[in-house]
Amino acid sequence: MKQPPIIGITTYARDKRGNFKLGTEYVDAVRRAGGIPILIPPGEDHQVELLDFVDGFILSGGGEVNPALYHGRNHETIAWVDYERDFSEIALVRRMLNQNLPMLCICRGLQVINVALGGTLIEHLPDEVGDRIPHRLPPRDPTEHLISIEPESKLAQIMGQTETTVASWHHQAVRQLAPGLKVVAQAPDGVIEAIEMPAHPWLIGVQWHPELTAVADPGQQRLFDALVNASSRCQEQNLTNAINAMNPTNAINSTNSTNSMNSPTPYAPRSPRTYGMPKAAGAPNRLRMASRDEKTRARMVNR
């Protein structure tokens, strides 16, 4: 029986009480799309094992990326810098890219991808582009504005739109785009609002927060639907790898079939998963399922 794909979602940094939190909107959007959300807190040392467990990823929003990581300058508005989260997510991104896992990068997540690949950020948008188009309201509240999407982009195909209103909650954005990335959406003031990686099977970064409006906006929800669908295809490939590992004859037939169609899978092979098999007694559980409890709703601290 086919299982729903497992979608890892990075959480915010530790709060003052040492707790990891995440807005429930991320979890709800993944569940509506048919995926199983799992929260991934910063500081995970077993990233290799983690990537063998999940089928797709969401890099969530949150605090600022340390400007020292992109040779930027300090600014009085930069807040909630967390070294553990920065280094953990950058390392995770580089591993995910090596395995071509489907990735949806939201707000800070887009910025992390860009920095991890050698790009830079605008430290404070009003200093560089003015405030004609507010990207957040003072002191740190969300707002809305229009964006334009490249018609030939994967993003436009998924959302079914080339212009839409988005929930914006940021004061930083991409300055220099990292090699291998492509701009596919912009705000009226020229701020980069979305990127794709053409060489990757499924990687989309958006500077806005689709999870905030996905429950009422089908176009935003389709981003999560598409991520889950791509992750399901990745899961199917992993299952094929697991079957082939147990039966070399199947592996030969599968390879011949793939070659005859001249359409090799875009997903990198990973360790075969023990689908449907019980976990070994005493094995550590390093991941926790996302909670539905509304009392755990976390307010976004900066985006």
Pick the catalytic residue from 135, 170, 171, 209: 209
- pLDDT at residue 14 in the model: 82
pLDDT(300) > 60: no
Task: Give the pLDDT confidence score for residue 271 in this predicted structure.
Answer: 53
Residue 266: per-residue pLDDT: 61
Q: Give dist(CA 124, CA 171) in Å, integer.
A: 5
Tell me: pLDDT of 301 over 60. Answer: no
Alpha-carbon distance of 60 to 211, in angstroms, equals: 10
Q: Which of 25, 64, 89, 211 is catalytic?
A: 211
Residue 177: predicted pLDDT: 98
Six-digit token pair at 174? 């991409």
The chain-wide mean pLDDT, for the chain, equals 82
Q: What is the CA radius of gyration of the chain?
A: 19
Does the pLDDT of residue 256 top 70, yes or no? Answer: no
DSSP 15-31: -TTS-----HHHHHHHH
User: Angle, nearest 10°, between helix axes 218-246 and 24-32?
Assistant: 70
pLDDT at 200 over 80: yes
211 as an active site residue: the answer is yes
- Reported CATH class of domain 6-229+282-296: alpha beta
Angle (deg, nearest 10), helices 83-99 and 108-116: 70
- For residues 90 and 46, the model is more confident at 90
Q: List residues bridging with 109 in a β-sheet.
A: none
Name the residue ranges covered by the structural domains of the chain.
Answer: 6-229+282-296
> In the structure, what pLDDT confidence band is assigned to residue 17 with cuts at 50, 70 and 90?
confident
- Catalytic member of 105, 107, 135, 145: 107
Report the predicted TM-score, pTM, of the whole model to 2 decimal places.
Answer: 0.81
pLDDT for 227 equals: 98
Tell me: pLDDT of 287 over 70. no
Give the model confidence (pLDDT) of 215-225 as tens digits: 999 999 999 99
